[in-house]
Amino acid sequence: MAAPPARARADYDYLIKLLLIGDSDKIALIILPFNLHFVSTSAGVGKSCLLLRFSDGSFTTSFITTIGIDFKIRTIELDGKRIKLQIWDTAGQERFRTITTAYYRGAMGILLVYDVTDESSFNNIRNWIRNIEQHASDNVNKILVGNKADMDESKRAVPTSKGQALADEYGIKFFETSAKTNLNVEQVFFSIARDIKQRLADTDSKAEPATIKINQAEAGGAGQASQKSACCGS
């Protein structure tokens, strides 16, 4: 999706849509006589907690699994520009995958989030990247995020070096974060927002000279035609 032109609105210079993707809670359905029970069997990678920490500056361990799509808005200052971030939080469950794929196309940046204490969530990053390649724009910015870095090292399943190696393989930036302690949360969102803003600014600067050349060519052609007409009339 093309970005709105700079200063399209009085309250911001750029509107940037970000998408948070990654594994969510695994839900088990337990059926007992006369009762249905939904039980969360794992805690998810913490996408909603990251979003809440960045947008509202708060953290909670009591979070309802995101059903479908949710989003928050925060406006930040970058290099003298006001950037309005529209951040979408997706449900990672397979049964909601058809809902979330519709949101890939409009995304300018995607944060791929895994849990450093859950190796399966890290291994699934490759699947999420394949989804991006299939559904998102070719020039979408990506960033890899290893969340829950505050956890005790004895619980860590994915070393920092392994996360960095995967990011290097795909040529994207890598951060380890903690929504609980606010470790690198601001840095992650500011980093991808800055990269997108730079990409949009570069696109704008490349487009402007082309417009000038066309106008100059038209002006030159009109001048030559005028001269030719005058010459023929003499």
Beta strand extents in the chain (DSSP E only): 14-21, 27-32, 35-40, 69-78, 81-90, 109-115, 141-147, 173-176
Whether residue 118 lies inside any domain: the answer is yes
Instruction: Supply the pLDDT for residue 134.
Output: 93
Whether residue 229 lies inside any domain: the answer is yes
Whether residue 9 lies inside any domain: the answer is no
Cα gap 16→118, rounded to integer Å: 30
Instruction: Supply the pLDDT for residue 101.
Output: 78
- In the chain, count H helices and then E strands: 6, 8
Distances (CA, A) of 202 to 6, 99, 168, 174: 12, 32, 24, 23
Cα gap 83→74, rounded to integer Å: 8
Whether residue 2 lies inside any domain: the answer is no
Instruction: Supply the pLDDT for residue 36.
Output: 45
Question: Mean pLDDT by 10-residue block, N- to C-terminus, for the chain (234 residues)?
Answer: 52 95 63 45 75 86 54 94 93 62 89 97 96 94 97 97 98 97 97 97 76 49 48 47
Q: Angle formed by the axes of helices 47-56 and 185-233, to 10°?
A: 70
Whether residue 7 lies inside any domain: the answer is no
The CATH number of residue 195's host domain is 3.40.50.300
Whether residue 62 lies inside any domain: the answer is yes
Q: What is the pLDDT of residues 109-162, one digit of tens each?
A: 999 999 999 999 999 999 999 999 999 999 999 999 999 999 999 999 999 999
Whether residue 3 lies inside any domain: the answer is no
- Domain of residue 75 covers 14-233
Instruction: Supply the pLDDT for residue 43.
Output: 56
What's the domain count of the chain? 1
Whether residue 181 lies inside any domain: the answer is yes
